């Protein structure tokens, strides 16, 4: 059947993001996590990547990769040869499956059967693991972020700080001065037009770049250019990033501010108050790590996730 995935026992790990036809991921940070952790894990294990939504063919995936990373031909070929595209699979059988987005509730709703040892990052307070349909789960989470929000999950999880593989990023060939960027994809970063107008009048930039999948909403706005991700060399197109509050007041492990730090881009946290950060411990701790513990959030080939996987893979 077309909706069944069965991987042979020679495959150690199937890496994936959850899927849901009514609300596909689109271009989001989890996609880049999938790429970066594949680079690390595939040096030690036989790894396959599975896409159940959003990315449907190699040309789409390749465009995402080359828009952001400087990889060798062998590395690109590894992604090409080890990626499976299957829209909305309903049955998965493999030895180990690794979800980088943590949204197992989406698969609960769809009734997806997973016959595997499940490993997942935790990414949101609302997506709890201790009360999920799936019980054979190894949960990786930053305990500092979740201890006061979901202590039940912390009690059964493994402490791990999610990281970004900055050393694989492309070098910037140029840079833009006095240009503000807004990252407003609809999966969780959308804002009202009133806030956009407020931002434009608050910051003194010559122009703005709006990165969004909903280009119709933000078109024909004075001094604003809309671009749909993935955008090649996006970090060469702006000087300052305006981080906007999320409606859910939660950003479990934001990566864009880390990327901005790496590329020496300024970050303005618009309307991110101390009260906001009291609720959004993910953003608060990321901000602290960026400023005071940079190495702890930089992924490399010797990352401690390798040791963790040695203990939990089946």
Query: What does pLDDT average to over the chain?
Result: 92
Helices (H) and strands (E) in the chain, counts: 11, 13
* E strand map for 199-249: 207-211, 224-227, 240-243
**14-28, 198-212, 255-269, 295-309: segment of lowest average pLDDT:** 14-28
pLDDT at 29 (0 to 100):
82
193-241: per-residue pLDDT in tens? 999 999 999 998 999 999 998 888 888 888 899 998 888 889 999 999 9
Between vectors from CA 99 to CA 254 and to CA 227, what angle results, nearest 5°?
Answer: 45
- Percent of the chain whose pLDDT exceeds 70: 98
Q: What is the mean pLDDT of residues 161-172?
A: 96
* Residue 31's pLDDT band (cuts 50, 70, 90): very high
**44-53, 122-131, 139-148, 171-180: segment of lowest average pLDDT:** 122-131
> What CATH architecture applies to the domain 172-296?
3-Layer(aba) Sandwich (3.40)
pLDDT at 25 (0 to 100):
66
pLDDT at 153 (0 to 100):
87
pLDDT at 120 (0 to 100):
94
Domain ranges in the chain are 4-165+299-312, 172-296
Q: What is the mean pLDDT of residues 42-64?
A: 94
pLDDT at 123 (0 to 100):
86
Phi, psi of 164 (to 5 degrees): -125, 135
81-125: per-residue pLDDT in tens? 999 999 999 999 999 999 999 888 888 889 999 999 999 999 888
pLDDT at 245 (0 to 100):
94
Whole-model pTM? 0.93
Q: What is the mean pLDDT of residues 156-168?
A: 96
The closest alpha carbon to 100, from 127, 74, 73, 80, belongs to 127
- Percent of the chain whose pLDDT exceeds 90: 71
Cis preceding linkage at 230, omega within 30: yes
pLDDT at 266 (0 to 100):
96
């Amino acid at each position: 059947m077309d909706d069944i995935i069965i991987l042979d026992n020679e495959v150690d790990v199937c890496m994936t993001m959850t899927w849901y036809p009514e609300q596909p991921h689109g271009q989001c940070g989890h996609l880049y996590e999938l790429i970066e952790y594949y680079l690390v894990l595939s040096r030690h294990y036989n790894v396959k990547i599975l896409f159940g939504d959003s990315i449907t063919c190699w040309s789409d995936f390749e465009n995402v990769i080359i828009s952001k990373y400087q990889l060798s031909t062998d590395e690109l070929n590894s992604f090409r040869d080890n990626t499976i595209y299957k829209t909305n699979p309903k049955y998965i059988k493999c030895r180990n499956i690794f979800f980088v987005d943590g949204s197992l509730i989406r698969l609960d709703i769809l009734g997806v059967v997973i016959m595997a040892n499940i490993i997942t990052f935790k990414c949101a307070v609302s997506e709890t693991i201790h009360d999920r349909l799936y019980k054979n789960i190894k949960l990786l989470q930053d305990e500092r972020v979740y201890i006061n929000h979901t202590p039940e999950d912390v009690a059964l999880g493994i402490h791990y700080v999610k990281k970004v593989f900055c050393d694989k990023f492309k070098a910037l060939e140029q840079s833009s001065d006095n240009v503000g960027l807004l990252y407003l994809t609809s999966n969780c970063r959308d804002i009202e037009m009133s806030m956009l107008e407020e931002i434009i009048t608050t910051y003194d930039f010559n122009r703005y770049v709006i990165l969004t999948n909903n280009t119709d909403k933000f078109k024909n706005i004075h001094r604003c250019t809309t671009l749909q991700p993935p955008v090649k060399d996006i970090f060469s197109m702006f000087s300052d990033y305006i981080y906007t509050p999320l409606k859910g007041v939660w950003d479990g492990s934001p990566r864009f501010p880390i990327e901005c730090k790496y590329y020496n881009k300024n970050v303005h946290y618009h309307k991110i108050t101390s009260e906001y950060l009291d609720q959004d411990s993910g953003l608060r701790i990321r901000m602290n790590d960026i400023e005071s513990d940079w190495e702890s959030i930089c992924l490399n080939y010797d990352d401690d996730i390798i040791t963790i996987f040695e203990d939990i893979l089946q």
